Homo-oligomer: A and B are copies of this chain.
């Protein structure tokens, strides 16, 4: 038997995942007019295949729903974690969670950044196909449908850790209860006696931000406080947005006595705006953040904030993706972990 035949035989048994009539590797090869080893090369992310051949094979793999037989090629002891960007202070919380699970499972963590793009590039996909990780965890990133097919056909499972709250329906993901977080933050302020409560959101394109603001609005309305669109600002999730939107809100003719910010970094920007205007926190202005990063405890005054369990979310995502890899298919593949209000010193009853 030639080496090519051996390789072909290793790949050929029908996939245990494929529906009746699913194509074998040999059938894919025949349809593409190439040899079985060539299909195998495409499956393994090898570079020595002509681009036109590669796309013809990929298209056939996709059309036939081909899935590699489990164990047909050895998985590495790697677990891939991909960030949209490593800038954010909460990235470390996520890394820690995935690293915890990786260590317990004897896996090593491969960390990538998709350089600010929401979809990782083809270079990344090729590298993943070549190294065959036990699973892929994406943070605020998503795969396009061709990439999903590529990973699925190689039996490489993936899960999204999703603080943004907007993965496609078919993508397994672990998020947080953003709406409830917005509700709890705003209820706390209402219960302290605040009626003019501002809110600074993240980008309006992010579902997590919409959910938080909807929770804010629900808390106001159930308490009989009118929703005032002038007290709502859209920013991004950086310090600067908290500062700029904070100045706008605090300079209104009838400014808010409390503000719920989209995240802790924005809250620090709002702290700065308040300082510049000579407003004391919490005496003149109450502030509630979101995330509960370590720095929320360290700032002055320590920040009341909604804890998003980022490390636990990352751990859950890592366990879910490894479960997929072991053939376990949990019934629910879209999970939101609970947020909780952490009370510190940045909130108090209004002075006026």
Among residues 121 to 147 in chain A, which have CB atoms less than 8 Å away from a CB atom of chain B? Answer: 123, 127, 130-131
Whether A268 contacts B299 by the Cβ 8 Å rule is: yes
Known: A89-B92, A89-B294, A127-B77. A108 touches B112 (CB 8 A): yes
Is A239 located at the chain interface by the 8 A CB criterion? Answer: yes
Q: Report Cα–Cα, A95/B91, bound state, in Å.
A: 11
Stretch among A25-33, A269-277, A325-333 lining the B interface = A269-277
Whether A99 contacts B111 by the Cβ 8 Å rule is: yes
Is A230 located at the chain interface by the 8 A CB criterion? Answer: no
Whether B110 contacts A265 by the Cβ 8 Å rule is: no
25 A-B pairs within 8 Å (CB atoms) are namely A77-B131, A78-B110, A78-B131, A86-B92, A86-B96, A89-B89, A89-B92, A89-B295, A91-B92, A92-B92, A99-B113, A106-B123, A108-B111, A108-B127, A109-B112, A110-B110, A239-B297, A239-B298, A265-B298, A268-B295, A272-B300, A275-B300, A295-B295, A299-B300, A300-B300
Is A352 located at the chain interface by the 8 A CB criterion? Answer: no
A269 partner residues in chain B, CB cutoff 8 A: 298
A294 partner residues in chain B, CB cutoff 8 A: 89
Whether B103 contacts A115 by the Cβ 8 Å rule is: yes
Is A76 located at the chain interface by the 8 A CB criterion? Answer: yes
A100 closest partner in B (C-beta):
B113
Report the copy number of this chain in the oligomer: 2
Question: What per-residue 1/0 map shows which CB atoms of A78-106 lie under 8 Å from chain B?
Answer: 10000000100101100110010001001
Distance in angstroms from A294 CB to nearest chain B CB is 7
Whether A86 contacts B77 by the Cβ 8 Å rule is: no
A131 partner residues in chain B, CB cutoff 8 A: 76-78, 108
Query: Main secondary structure on chain A at its contact with chain B?
Result: helix
| Size bracket of the A interface | 35 or more
Q: Which residues of A contact B (CB under 8 A)?
A: 76-78, 86, 89, 91-92, 95-96, 99, 103, 106, 108-113, 115, 123, 127, 130-131, 239, 265, 268-269, 271-272, 275, 294-295, 297-301
User: Known contacts A103-B113, A295-B295; can you find 14 more A-B pairs with CB under 8 A?
Assistant: A86-B95, A89-B294, A89-B295, A91-B92, A108-B110, A108-B127, A109-B110, A110-B110, A239-B298, A268-B295, A268-B298, A271-B300, A295-B298, A299-B299
A91 partner residues in chain B, CB cutoff 8 A: 92
A276 closest partner in B (C-beta):
B300
A239 partner residues in chain B, CB cutoff 8 A: 297-298
Q: Report Cα–Cα, A275/B275, bound state, in Å.
A: 15
A76 partner residues in chain B, CB cutoff 8 A: 131
A98 closest partner in B (C-beta):
B111
A103 partner residues in chain B, CB cutoff 8 A: 112-113, 115
A301 partner residues in chain B, CB cutoff 8 A: 275
Distance in angstroms from A276 CB to nearest chain B CB is 10
